[in-house]
Structure 1
């Protein structure tokens, strides 16, 4: 077991960022870690920035993470991914959703929305462990675009296994059980399919 793992999740309102954070907290607890979560910036309306920190550790006193100390980064949207890039440590594991959803931070400032090439160039300067997935496209193929966050959690679970980040076993079933406990019964099967589709994106 590692002494600590620092996560950062960044997206926009309506993408399920906070649900994903809650899942991560509970996966950490299931793995024997102490775990804490903090929503640092949150705007409930669709399009507002949402940023959440999660920390796993033998002992966790605070969920907040210092600049340059993020070990695992999950970005639900490209502009928010770039906005948080400076918080990653060199070599961090990063998963970026390639769906284009312009957040308020872009539309209100008149900034150009980042293209995929620019995004990848900037992340390559920080880490060689970045993966890019179009979670919305995968979820749409399953019949419900709102399952994109669970697609990304599936991908993240497989990436973390591949990197052996934790030093403890966190099989897919643990993640999936925690996810399905948090969705209405009628959406359990959809989320199961979304999670498994996300895992397959790694292979």
Structure 2
């Protein structure tokens, strides 16, 4: 693949975005791609915005994705999808987790969580909604939402040549490997 692909992962601190990005980057590198990754934590430990930018292809010179350049955005939280939508290119795709994490202004009553975010996103861009939270609960661990989203991303990009199970075994703590492999395959099914 000569064309560089641009992937933006967005969400809220504590959702496992950094781990998902590391799994993605490692899998792509193992498959022979040149990969550049950039991450911004913000106030991640306080529920702040977290983003990672992953670019891969035959040769990648910079990790930065500009506005209108992302081929795909994977949003782990709905409001973060809306916040970063301007980075999606006109032919890009949005994969969004149907999950809400209220920000501090919402928790204090200063603002309200927008009600029709998913409809608004669908009106603007090619959007696939994944209910990763419920899927993760059914698997027995809500914290596997990130790997469910990664599985969905891998399917959307057609990344079948990557040894995803091997990458999960290498980067995930041993006691969580089996459930994360299940989560990854569940995401591919979605």
**Structure 2 residue runs without a partner (length 5+):** none
2:190 maps to 1:154: no
Once residues 182 and 162 of structure 2 are traced to their aligned partners in structure 1, the CA distance between those partners, rounded to angstroms, is 13
Residue 33 (structure 1) shift = 1.6
User: Structure 1's 14 and 41: CA in aligned 2 closer, same or farther, altered over 3 A?
Assistant: closer
Q: Which residue is 2:120 aligned to? A: 121
Residue 40 (structure 1) shift = 2.8
- Tell me how many residue pairs correspond in the alignment: 190
User: Structure 1's 173 and 190: CA in aligned 2 closer, same or farther, altered over 3 A?
Assistant: farther
2:185 maps to 1:186: no
Residue 109 (structure 1) shift = 9.0
TM score, norm. by length of structure 1: 0.85
2:47 maps to 1:47: yes
Residue 46 (structure 1) shift = 4.3
Map 1:20-169 → 2, pairs under 5 A: 20-104=20-104, 107=107, 110-115=110-115, 117-125=116-124, 127-128=125-126, 130-161=127-158
Once residues 108 and 31 of structure 1 are traced to their aligned partners in structure 2, the CA distance between those partners, rounded to angstroms, is 46
Aligned to 1:42, what secondary structure does the other structure show? coil
**Structure 1 residue runs without a partner (length 5+):** 162-169
Residue 81 (structure 1) shift = 0.7
Bigger shift: residues 43-52 or 134-143? 43-52
User: Structure 1's 20 and 106: CA in aligned 2 closer, same or farther, altered over 3 A?
Assistant: farther
